[in-house]
Amino acid sequence: MDASPPPIESDDFYRTLVENASEGMLTIDAESEIVYANPAVEDILGYAPDELIGSSKMKVIPERLQPVHMAALASYVETGDRNIDWNGIELPAEHKEGHEVPTLISLREHEYDGEQYFTGIIRDITERKRQEERLRDQKDRLDEFADILAHDIRNPLSVAIGYADIAREEHDLPELESIAESLSRIDDLVDDVLALSKEGRSIGETEPVDVEEVVRESWRNVETGAATLVIDSTLGTVEADASRFRELLENLFRNAADHGGSDVTVRVGRTAEGGALYVSDDGPGIPEDVRMEVFEYGYSTSEDGTGYGLSIVARIAEGHGWDVSVIGSEEGGARFEIAF
């Protein structure tokens, strides 16, 4: 038995819907005269419906934009060509008190008794524009901070690199080679931070990368104590931004060392199908109920942790179009898989 209610065809019902809508609605004819305004228009533009009906739409258009509006409507009525996006365009409207209100307007054309009409659905986007302005201010401050930080880091970094080069010329010590590699890595990370803050990109140019080579470089760049690295299989190559790929692996290795203890064993290999790279350890593992949360900014199970390491891993993977996940390893620890 069909228990659905009969369709509602009452004009009063639809009029009630329109008059109680939170968006403003204005209907004009082909001559730009306002023939209908719903009550919400008053909340947005300050005019009661009766103050608008019978007036030209120019009453709510800033004077500087009136010629453009008039020409656009006349052109459409004559040619049928739309010069704007009818599904939503940002336009300022003029409030009764004289100030401009940023609005998002959607337009629809309809016919009634053989006459042509246009209805605009108006949404006040003042708060959204304020938020956008706040975000722009924050980005400007972030750009300035990144410039200052990069400058202040690079000055002493350049001095350190210079002295390291002199020391390597005079002494053939493996420790000096490690110092030089670490300083070079810091220089690369400064470039990455600047690119991320200024251009909003998580990766740069990609190229075929030897995975095992990057794995070993990344391991050397992390303080792992007595931890052991085991490469289980041939790792092949992958298309990647080498610097960001190193950063991804460095964070995984650092996570294993921080949570798995000084004698943790970290294993790196490719899955049986060869489509994913895994990094696993024999540490305490990650409880199943928080495995998705560990990739969120600020999440950490360590009092000394920043909670950024694994979120950086997720962001770099996403930037490459890779999928990253975590499961339990065969040794009882954590196993991260990156599907290329």
- Which residues have CB under 8 Å from 162's CB, separation 6+? none
**Average pLDDT of 48-75?**
89
Helix H segments across the chain?
11-19, 40-45, 49-52, 66-79, 126-170, 174-199, 211-220, 242-260, 309-320
**Distance, first Cα to last Cα, the chain:** 53
Does the residue 292 lie in any domain? Answer: yes
Using pLDDT thresholds of 50, 70 and 90, give the confidence band for residue 88. confident
Does the residue 1 lie in any domain? Answer: no
Model-wide pTM > 0.85: no
Instruction: List the domain range (segments joined by +) for residue 120.
Output: 11-124
Bridge partners, residue 228, by sequence: 265
Report the pLDDT value the prediction gives residue 45, as an integer from 0 to 100: 94
Are residues 131 and 264 located together in one domain of the fold?
Answer: no
3-state DSSP helix/strand/coil percent for the chain, to nearest 5? 45, 25, 30
Are residues 60 and 98 located together in one domain of the fold?
Answer: yes
Inter-residue contact 117 to 110 (CB < 8 Å)? yes
Residue 272 Cα to chain centre, angstroms? 33
Least confident interval from 61-75, 294-308, 319-333: 294-308
* Selected residue with higher pLDDT from 109 and 4: 109
Q: Cβ of 335: how many Cβ atoms within 10 Å?
A: 18
Report the pLDDT value the prediction gives residue 22, as an integer from 0 to 100: 81
* Residue bearing tokens 């209100």: 101
CATH of the domain at 259: 3.30.565.10
Report the pLDDT value the prediction gives residue 132, as an integer from 0 to 100: 87
**Average pLDDT of 323-339?**
91
CA distance 306 to 9: 60
CA distance 175 to 155: 23
Q: Could you give the C-alpha distances from 192 to 136, 201, 205, 243, 276, in angstroms and in order?
A: 21, 9, 12, 8, 25
CATH of the domain at 107: 3.30.450.20
| Average pLDDT taken over every residue of the chain | 84
Closest-CA residue to 90 (of 61, 124, 131, 138):
124
Helix, strand or coil for residue 157? helix
CATH of the domain at 160: 1.10.287
CA distance 7 to 158: 76
Does the pLDDT of residue 239 top 90, yes or no? yes
CA distance 192 to 247: 10
CA distance 194 to 252: 22
Last-in-domain residue among 124, 149, 173: 124
Does the residue 68 lie in any domain? Answer: yes
Last-in-domain residue among 177, 201, 225: 201
Using pLDDT thresholds of 50, 70 and 90, give the confidence band for residue 300. low
- Which residues have CB under 8 Å from 165's CB, separation 6+? 180
**Average pLDDT of 15-42?**
87
Bridge partners, residue 105, by sequence: 89, 122
